[in-house]
Structures are given as structure tokens and as C-alpha cells.
């Protein structure tokens, strides 16, 4: 039988062998990488040769579509949510040669994601941002990446998230040029909205409905266009009979097609906005059932619940007043409010139609094909008891709760 000393020696031998193996493996990988990875490119060239990844993009300049395509390398875009829409969005921006990408997501790649684009089965278990950075860096080493694997809606992460949005630009200390919301839930959208209103950060919202057959993108300029809290969530009507839509037993469906279309119209809007060509959409919906793309623009709501939205509106008004009027720009249609409510939305709180009527708010006047998920009454008096004043301290209450 081997002594302890002998075994220790054997362990050390094996450890050394392992280190040697690892080093060899690294050397092989490095050599492969040298072969597979193109070197970084200092200046975008319009030269049409098969080794130039930017020739077709630079052709946009020659054709007169874009004035200065190279400018794309000066921009930083933050993508929040690297799922079905966000990952494809990040890939498109990477291939277009964006300067810097910040990626935020707390999730891991799962095999259940494989009905969507971008991620591959061998990446299952990796964090989405880590897996995405690896793939994207391979596609285009000219792009700078910064990734954050956390949930932006919690206290501990939100402050860091705000800090990176306001200081994470290509030139450290400068804000990002644009933030893209590619998240899949209301809480995260609201958190992004809060951050952008506080920072005055221009952003674009995107979303795909839970039934996978509609989606939208929206440009939000704090103080100028409606923020996410200015109106109840907007939805693109898919014209599906609610009675035939079965929600029992499932949460959400998803299609790579709808997500790809939404990522496409989102990045198209980003390119138009950053490189200044074409018309930038304020709101563009996609109804996959009828292939209908409703558009609209909505001004910020002076009575928005978000006080930073209201502050940004004041600042925008001041700025507008100071600006010399040159020519009349086409006025955006203001969202008018009409009183009648023919919204067939069923609500839990109400038992009778009269109660439903009383609990419903006014419906903003929206173009055909766009509706609100629900309405909120202007101000309702609280019905029912409210918590009483208490002499007990928080610690007392916590202890009382534990003792129950």
C-alpha cells in the first residue's frame, strides 16, 4: 500500500501534467485563433476585395444613401436583454461595425432558447452576455465589448447600470449614444425607463407579444416623445379573437421569425438615427397575422407619473423656446383623449359592468392597429381600509411577522 508521502508526490506529478496539458491546449487554440481571426482594421475601406468586411457597407456612401458610414465606429450602443431580439440586434450592430456594445443580461443560455436565432446548443449553461461576446468578437474584432451579467431591476445593480449608461461610452466617461431595450418583461422596461428619464438618455424600446405574432419598436426621447410610463403599455392588435386564444397551460410563445423581424426593424431605426438617413420611426408596429405595420408618434404626457419625465419635458420646452424658429416642421399628431370606452378588456377587480366602467380610464386616440393593454382612471379615491398609524417600529413589526 502506498504511503501518504508517495500519494502526495503522485498528486503533484499529476498536477504538473495537467498544467502542461492546459498550456499545450492554449497554444493550439491561440494558433487556431491567429488563423481564423482577422486582425483588427484601423480604417474602414470602401475597396471592393473579398478580404474587406466593410466594402458592402461603405458602398452605401457611394450610392448616396449614407453621408458618412465610417461614423458608425464612433458610436456606443447599450443592448439590455440579450435574448431572442437582443442577441440578433447585437449581431447586426457588430456586423455593421459599431464602435462599442454594452450588453446587459442576467440569464443563461438554455436549450429551450434554441427556437430562436444566434445562440448555439454548445453554449447552453454559459451566461448569455459571455456567450454573445465570444461569438460577436469572432465575427468582428473591431468592436469593443463590455458585458454585465446581472438583473438591472434590483437595488444593488440598478445604480451600477445607471453609472455604465452615463459613463460607458467608447471614450470612457461619456454616455452611450443609444440604449436599446430588448427585455421581455414590464419590470425591466420600467427600470430602463426610470434610468433613461433620470439621465436624459435617448433609447429605443422593442417588444414581441407573448403570442409571438406581433411586435413593435419605439423611439423615446426623454421630455419630447412619450416615455414608457406616459401611457399604459401599447400593444399591436393582432386581430385574434380573444375567445379562441388559449392561454391555459402556457406562458409565452416565441417565433424566430417575429423576433428576427423586430430585431431588423429595430436596428434599421438605429442605423437611420445614428447615421442620419431616411426617416426615423417614433413607433412602428408589426402585426404578423395581417402583415400590417402601423406607425405613429406620441408626445410626452404632461401628467406622466414619472417626475423625471415631467422634468425632462420642462427642459425640452425651455430649449424649444430658446431655439430660433426657422421653418415649420411637420407637427406631430398629439395624442387626443376621448371619453367613451368601448374597450372590451375584462378586469379582475370588477364584478359588474358598471364597476368595470368606473375603474376604466380614458383611452388615448391611437391609429388603427395600435391599442393600449389597459386603461387607468385619472384619480380614484381609495376604497377600503388603509393601514393605520402605528407606534411599532419596523423591527417590532418584523418580529411580530416572524412569530405568527
Partner 1 sequence: MADEATRQAVSQIPLLKTHAGPRDRALWPQRLKEEYQALIRFVEQNKGADNDWFRLESNADGTRWTGTCWFIHELLRYEFRLEFDIPVTYPVTAPEVAVPELDGKTAKMYRGGKICLTDHFAPLWARNAPRFGLAHLMALGLGPWLAVEVPDLISKGLVVHKEQQRDAAAE
Residue numbers of the site for Zn ion (CB under 5 A)?
A: 227, 229-230, 304, 306, 309
User: Which listed residue (21, 26, 230, 251) is catalytic?
Assistant: 251
Mind giving me the DSSP string for 274-310? Answer: HHT-S---SEEEEETTTTB--EE--BPPTT-S-HHHH
d(CA 66, CA 299): 28
Select 66 or 229, whichever has its Cβ closest to partner 1: 229
347 is a contact residue toward partner 1 (CB under 8 A)? yes
The answer to whether 249 and 206 are in contact (CB under 8 A) is no
- Report what 191 binds from Zn ion, partner 1, none; CB cut-off 5-8 Å by kind: partner 1
Would you give the DSSP letter of residue 40?
Answer: P
Select 27 or 111, whichever has its Cβ closest to partner 1: 111
d(CA 334, CA 268): 25
The answer to whether 78 and 182 are in contact (CB under 8 A) is no
- Applying CB under 8 A, which part among 40-48, 147-155, 255-263, 265-273 lies near partner 1? 147-155
354 is a contact residue toward partner 1 (CB under 8 A)? no
Closest to 74 in 3D by CA, of 203, 181, 177, 221: 177
Select 244 or 303, whichever has its Cβ closest to Zn ion: 303
- Report what 330 binds from partner 1, Zn ion, none; CB cut-off 5-8 Å by kind: none
The answer to whether 286 and 216 are in contact (CB under 8 A) is yes
d(CA 184, CA 149): 16
**Can 251 be counted among the known catalytic residues?**
yes
Q: How far is CA 121 from the centre of its chain?
A: 24
Least gap, CB of 190 to Zn ion (angstroms): 11
Would you give the DSSP letter of residue 366?
Answer: -
Mind giving me the DSSP string for 124-174? Answer: TTSBHHHHHHHHHHHH-TTSEEEEE-S-TTSHHHHHHHHHHHHH-SSSTTS
- Report what 7 binds from partner 1, Zn ion, none; CB cut-off 5-8 Å by kind: none
- Applying CB under 8 A, which part among 119-127, 130-138, 185-193, 273-281 lies near partner 1? 185-193
- Report what 70 binds from partner 1, Zn ion, none; CB cut-off 5-8 Å by kind: none
Among 1, 63, 354, 401, binds partner 1 (CB under 8 A): 401
Binding residues for partner 1, total number by CB under 8 A: 52
249 is a contact residue toward partner 1 (CB under 8 A)? yes
d(CA 100, CA 301): 33
- Report what 227 binds from partner 1, Zn ion, none; CB cut-off 5-8 Å by kind: Zn ion
d(CA 361, CA 301): 15
204 is a contact residue toward partner 1 (CB under 8 A)? no
- Report what 402 binds from partner 1, Zn ion, none; CB cut-off 5-8 Å by kind: partner 1
Active site residues: 251
Residues forming the site for partner 1 (CB under 8 A) = 107, 110, 112, 151, 153-155, 158, 185-187, 190-191, 194, 229, 232-233, 247, 249-252, 305, 345-351, 359, 373-374, 376-377, 380, 382, 384-388, 390, 392-394, 397-398, 400-402, 404
Amino acid at each position: 500500500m502506498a504511503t501518504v508521502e508517495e500519494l502526495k508526490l503522485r498528486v503533484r506529478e499529476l498536477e504538473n501534467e495537467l498544467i502542461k496539458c492546459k498550456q499545450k491546449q492554449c497554444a493550439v487554440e491561440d494558433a487556431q485563433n491567429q488563423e481564423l481571426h482577422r486582425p483588427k482594421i484601423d480604417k474602414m475601406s470602401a475597396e471592393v476585395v473579398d478580404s474587406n468586411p466593410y466594402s458592402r457597407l461603405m458602398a452605401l456612401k457611394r450610392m448616396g444613401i449614407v453621408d458618412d458610414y465610417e461614423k458608425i465606429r464612433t458610436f456606443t450602443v447599450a443592448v439590455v436583454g440579450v435574448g431572442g431580439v437582443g442577441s440578433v440586434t447585437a449581431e447586426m450592430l457588430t456586423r455593421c461595425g459599431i464602435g462599442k456594445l454594452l450588453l446587459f443580461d442576467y440569464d443563461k443560455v438554455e436549450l429551450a432558447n434554441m427556437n430562436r436565432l444566434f445562440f448555439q446548443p454548445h453554449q447552453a449553461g454559459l451566461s448569455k452576455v459571455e456567450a454573445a461576446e465570444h461569438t460577436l468578437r469572432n465575427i468582428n474584432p473591431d468592436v469593443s465589448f463590455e458585458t454585465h451579467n446581472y438583473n438591472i431591476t434590483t437595488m444593488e445593480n440598478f445604480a451600477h447600470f445607471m453609472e455604465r449608461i452615463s459613463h460607458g461610452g467608447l471614450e470612457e466617461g461619456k454616455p452611450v449614444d443609444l440604449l436599446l431595450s430588448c427585455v421581455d418583461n414590464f419590470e425591466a422596461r420600467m427600470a430602463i425607463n426610470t434610468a433613461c428619464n433620470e439621465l436624459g438618455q435617448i433609447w429605443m424600446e422593442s417588444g414581441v407579444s407573448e403570442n409571438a405574432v406581433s411586435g413593435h419598436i419605439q423611439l423615446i426621447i426623454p421630455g419630447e416623445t412619450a416615455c414608457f410610463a406616459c401611457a399604459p403599455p401599447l400593444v399591436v392588435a393582432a386581430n385574434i379573437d380573444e375567445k379562441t386564444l388559449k392561454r391555459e397551460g402556457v406562458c409565452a410563445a416565441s417565433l424566430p421569425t417575429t423576433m428576427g423581424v423586430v430585431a431588423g426593424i429595430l436596428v434599421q431605426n438605429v442605423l437611420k438615427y445614428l447615421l442620419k438617413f431616411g426617416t426615423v420611426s417614433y413607433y412602428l408596429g408589426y402585426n404578423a397575422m395581417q402583415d400590417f405595420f402601423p406607425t405613429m408618434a406620441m408626445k410626452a404626457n404632461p401628467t406622466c407619473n414619472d417626475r423625471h419625465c415631467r422634468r425632462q419635458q420642462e427642459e425640452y420646452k425651455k430649449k424649444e423656446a430658446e431655439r430660433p424658429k426657422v421653418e415649420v416642421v411637420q407637427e406631430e399628431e398629439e395624442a387626443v383623449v376621448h371619453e367613451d370606452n368601448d374597450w372590451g378588456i375584462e378586469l379582475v377587480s370588477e364584478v359588474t359592468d358598471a364597476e368595470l366602467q368606473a375603474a376604466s380610464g380614458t383611452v388615448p386616440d391611437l391609429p388603427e392597429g395600435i391599442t393600449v393593454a389597459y386603461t387607468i382612471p385619472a384619480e380614484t379615491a381609495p376604497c377600503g381600509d388603509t393601514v393605520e398609524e402605528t407606534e411599532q417600529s419596523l423591527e417590532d413589526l418584523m418580529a411580530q411577522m416572524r412569530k405568527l
